[in-house]
Amino acid sequence: SLRGFVSANQVRVLRGHSALTEKLVGRDPSTLDRELATALSEMRLLKDAEEVKELQAVVNATKRGFEDCIARLKTAKTERELEGVFYTRARMEGNDVGYGSIVASGAHACTLHWKKNDGQVRKGDLLLLDAGIEGNSLYTADITRTLPISGKFTPAQKQIYELVLKAQAAALKEVKPGNDFMAPNRAAMQVLAHGLADLGILPTTAEEALREENQFYKRYSLHNVSHMLGLDVHDCAQARAENYKWGKLQPGMCLTVEPGLYFQLDDLTVPAKYRGIGVRIEDDVVVTAKGHKNLSGGIPTKVADLEKWMKSIWAKKKR
């Protein structure tokens, strides 16, 4: 426990140490660092009301940053231009961006952590915007929206987008006290696997694809749907697995819910109309006594709402 650690080690700096000092006290510094990192990570698993308030504030600021990007989308030429627009908002309202913004146009969205942001922005493509503002308190948001650059989804884009949205809805239902941390992920993968089977993309039935030894859907989903959020974008990373990945959800835990589907341009297992489409939808949620609160729920996700939101932002810009 942290109390036991502190009683044995009155002062400890996690990063940087004197080899001579460590030799004199007779302790392996890597062991001490691990103990402290684990204790601190586990303290951060549960956020109090003030911390949730800070997270809500940076989520609200991030929404304004997304609106800035949408306003520029009509005339933007490059991903990096939009990255700069979001960064400006981050510096105006907070300390910085919480992590390197992912501004992925077209097939770049199929690269999970696209950070070059050096592509062109083209009408008819989707734009995957994964970004978060870090406040002066150093708490950060982590939100993703996938936007139709022209303001309207094509039929193929809409099919994939709505499948991912359905998977996210299933995952969100599982965010409640007492469920294990991986419950939202299992719910999302069920939906994605059945959807991929219905589209004729999986080589087997959804049931076979979901078996532990197969997991064929992972070719297209690539990642789990949740991680903790707080002072770090991937918060509590040193917590023990039994208290985090294999632990139970508790009130005060803040996590992301972010399913996705990614179809590479050269993937011949995917119908041509879907190749090059990458979709991720990510929200920041806090576990409450009776379920959860979606801190980023005010940022549209449904197709009609998203298209209407973009249209309204462009209309304001004309005034």
| Tens of pLDDT, residues 200-254 | 999 999 999 999 999 999 999 999 999 999 999 999 999 999 999 999 999 999 9
- Enumerate the domain spans of the chain: 2-40, 47-318
In Å, how far from its chain's centre is CA 248? 20
Q: Go through the chain and tell me how many residues it has.
A: 319
CA angle 130, 136, 137 (to 5 degrees): 95
* Token pair 């193929």: residue: 156
Q: Which residues, 6+ apart, have CB-to-CB distance to 79 below 8 Å?
A: 103, 104, 105, 108, 117, 118, 119, 120, 121, 127
pLDDT string in tens for the chain (319-residue length): 566 655 665 555 555 556 666 666 666 655 667 888 899 999 999 999 999 999 999 999 999 999 999 999 999 999 999 999 999 999 999 999 999 999 999 999 999 999 999 999 999 999 999 999 999 999 999 999 999 999 999 999 999 999 999 999 999 999 999 999 999 999 999 999 999 999 999 999 999 999 999 999 999 999 999 999 999 999 999 999 999 999 999 999 999 999 999 999 999 999 999 999 999 999 999 999 999 999 999 999 999 999 999 999 999 877 6
Buried b (16+ CB within 10 A) or exposed e, 260-296: bbbbbeebeebeeebbbbbbbbbbbbbbeeeebebbb
What does residue 73 show for φ and ψ, rounded to 5 degrees?
-60, -30
User: Which bin fits 280, alpha (ψ -120 to 50), beta or left (φ > 0)?
Assistant: beta
Q: Does domain 47-318 have CATH number 3.90.230.10?
A: yes
